[in-house]
Amino acid sequence: EQHIAMQSDHYECDVRMKHKDGHWVWIHDRGGVVERDDEGRAIRMTGTHIDVSEKKQIELELEQHRINLEGLVQERTDELECAIEELRAINEDVHEKNQMINEQNQELQTALHNLKEAQTQLLQAEKMASLGILTAGVAHEINNPLNFIRGGCIGLENQLKSGRICDEEKVSILLESINAGVERVNTIV
């Protein structure tokens, strides 16, 4: 129609035609008006018909392959998107678990630090307790000889206060007791 209306210099199209043997074939039709009347109407046209049935069959097969390939690509794309979503979910889960592990690790580090401090304080308390026990033992050990010394001093004082002549033997025993106490304290110290 465009060519007959003189909007193009020729025409070309693919059409189906019934072959003289009765089957249908695809024809590539190409031609043009070669003669017009005084009013510009087409009087005679010439052109060619080429059988393109095989080409059309190949194009149809190619189209089917393209559709199949697009389907396969879409199917694979869908599978990949599902896999990506699964991996994202796994990644988020791993990330959350990693955060939990980091938090627990931090809590454990804090607990370990607190335990070390408690252990240090406990050791210090045990040292102080041991020192207290040692001091109490030393004090007890020193008190016994001091009692000898005190007893000897009280005995000497009583001898001197009585105004009597001191019994040399008794004074000697008291002085020995005082000296023994001093020696014992000296040994302990």
Q: Which residues, including other chains, have CB under 8 Å from residue 145's CB and lie 6 or more apart?
A: 180, 181, 182, 183, 184, 185, 188
Q: Which residues, including other chains, have CB under 8 Å from residue 105's CB and lie 6 or more apart?
A: none
* Confidence at residue 166, expressed as pLDDT on a 0 to 100 scale: 67
The closest of 149, 172, 171, 150 to 160, measured between CA atoms, is 171
Please give the single-letter amino acid code of residue 24.
W
Q: pLDDT tens across 66-121, in order?
A: 999 999 999 999 999 999 999 999 999 999 999 999 999 999 999 999 999 999 99
Q: Is the dihedral of CA 77, 82, 87, 89 positive or negative?
A: positive
Q: Which two tokens stand for residue 130?
A: 């041991």
Q: What average pLDDT does this structure show over 4-23?
A: 93
CA dist 145 to 11, 45, 133, 154, Å?
140, 151, 19, 14
Q: What is the DSSP letter of 67?
A: H
Separation of alpha carbons 52 and 89, rounded Å: 54
Most confident of 1-15, 87-101, 134-148, 175-189: 87-101
| Percentage above 90 pLDDT, the chain | 67
Residue 159 has pLDDT above 80, yes or no: no
pLDDT higher at 141 or 127: 127
Separation of alpha carbons 69 and 61, rounded Å: 12
* Confidence at residue 161, expressed as pLDDT on a 0 to 100 scale: 78
